[in-house]
């Protein structure tokens, strides 16, 4: 279980004294086990890959994007502007975010409330992308993330793990795919599965969950949102989305999930065998 510190009992601070963390560099020689950093754009499959590698190698899976999503959710609930950094930074200082690694990812608690499902919804996703552009907020988050992974033996996935959070990570993977492929994957993740037919209903026509036109419109909307997020992530001034110079680029556009997982295992094993 991993926590971001909670200063909720502290009095509100004036803007001039808001916490502006000076991030200490990470210390690879202090780690007993490696850090696996997975970066990439939205919808690339980072969470699935991180969860698999953590299970396979017995590491802790820490989904750093969930921290931004949780804080974005709190901003939504409290009607905070996503564009004003000082109030958001103060909000972060009075927020408790807990990550509880599970077999298929992280259970996320916001001030003690399970928000694991809520933070995956589109409004929270969009808000997280907007608040993540703020310099001091990212600096604060990087400090928390480094503290969580200081001992090593963790898989961290996000947008800037290999470039900003752990630039000295022993294993760096940049997972990518064409926008259309990522959009289709995200659409399938968010679309209800058609329930299996009941034999007793064989004589009746069962309604489809979506018409072809509705499906096309929904998928196009997801692709449009994804491309907008790509642009924000790649062009933000603070820690733009880009591969670390020493990252292994893993383009999954034409790969099956099993092929991606197998290739990532090879990348990690190559380090472990020489470490």
pLDDT of residue 192: 56
pLDDT of residue 8: 47
Q: Which residues contact 239 (CB under 8 A, 6 or more apart)?
A: 138, 159, 160, 163, 164
pTM value > 0.85: no
Query: What average pLDDT does range 103-115 have in this prediction?
Result: 86
Interval 246-260 mean pLDDT: 95
Domains delineated in the chain: 32-192+213-272 (3.40.50.300)
pLDDT given for residue 30 in this prediction = 61
Q: Residues 26-35: pLDDT tens digits?
A: 566 567 789 9
Residue 9 — very low, low, confident or very high, per pLDDT cuts 50/70/90?
very low
Tell me, what's the pLDDT at 265? 97
Please tell me the predicted confidence (pLDDT) of residue 12: 45
Residue 243 has pLDDT above 50, yes or no: yes
Q: Which of residues 198 and 18 earns the better pLDDT score?
A: 198
Report the pLDDT value the prediction gives residue 235, as an integer from 0 to 100.
86
Calculate mean pLDDT across residues 156-167.
91
What SS3 string covers the chain? CEECCCCCCCCCCCHHHCCCCCCCCCCHHHCCCCEEEEECCCCCCHHHHHHHHHHHHCCEEEECHHHHHHHHHHHHHCCCCCCCHHHHHHHHHCCCEEEEEECCEEEEEECCEECCCHHHCHHHHHHHHHHCCCHHHHHHHHHHHHHHCCCCCEEEEECCHHHHHCCCCCEEEEEECCHHHHHHHHHHHHCCCCCCCCHHHCCCCCCCCCCHHHHHHHHHHHHHHHHHHHHHHHHCCCCCCCCCCCCEEEECCCCCHHHHHHHHHHHHHHHHCCC
| Residue-wise pLDDT tens digits, 89-106 | 999 999 999 888 776 667
pLDDT at 24: 45
Q: Give the residue-averaged pLDDT of 36-54.
A: 92
**pLDDT band for position 245 (50/70/90)?**
very high
Task: Give the separation between CA 163 and CA 167, rounded to whole angstroms.
Answer: 5
């Amino acid at each position: 279980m991993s926590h971001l510190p909670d200063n909720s009992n502290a009095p509100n601070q004036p803007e001039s004294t808001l916490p502006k963390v000076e991030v200490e560099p990470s210390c690879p020689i202090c780690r007993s086990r490696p850090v696996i950093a997975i970066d990439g754009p939205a919808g690339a499959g980072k969470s699935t890959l991180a969860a698999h590698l953590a299970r396979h190698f017995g590491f802790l899976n820490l989904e750093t994007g969930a921290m931004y999503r949780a804080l974005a959710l709190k901003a939504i609930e409290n009607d905070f502007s996503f564009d004003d950094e000082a109030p958001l930074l103060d909000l972060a200082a009075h927020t408790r975010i807990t990550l509880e690694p599970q077999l298929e990812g992280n259970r996320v608690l916001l001030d003690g409330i399970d928000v694991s499902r809520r933070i995956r919804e589109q409004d929270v996703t969009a808000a997280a992308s907007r608040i993540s552009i703020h310099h001091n907020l990212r600096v604060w988050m990087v400090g928390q993330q480094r503290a969580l992974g200081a001992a090593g033996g963790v898989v961290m996935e996000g947008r800037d793990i290999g470039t900003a959070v752990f630039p000295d990570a022993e294993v760096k993977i940049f997972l990518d795919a064409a926008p259309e492929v990522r959009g289709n994957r995200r659409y399938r993740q968010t679309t209800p599965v058609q329930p299996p037919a009941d034999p007793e209903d064989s004589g009746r026509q069962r309604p489809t969950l979506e018409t072809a036109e509705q499906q096309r419109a929904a998928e196009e909307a997801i692709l449009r949102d994804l491309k907008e997020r790509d642009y924000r992530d790649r062009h933000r001034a603070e820690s733009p989305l880009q591969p670390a110079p020493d990252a292994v680029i893993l383009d999954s556009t034409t790969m099956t999930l099993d092929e991606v997982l197998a290739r990532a295992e090879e990348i990690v094993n190559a380090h472990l065998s020489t470490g």
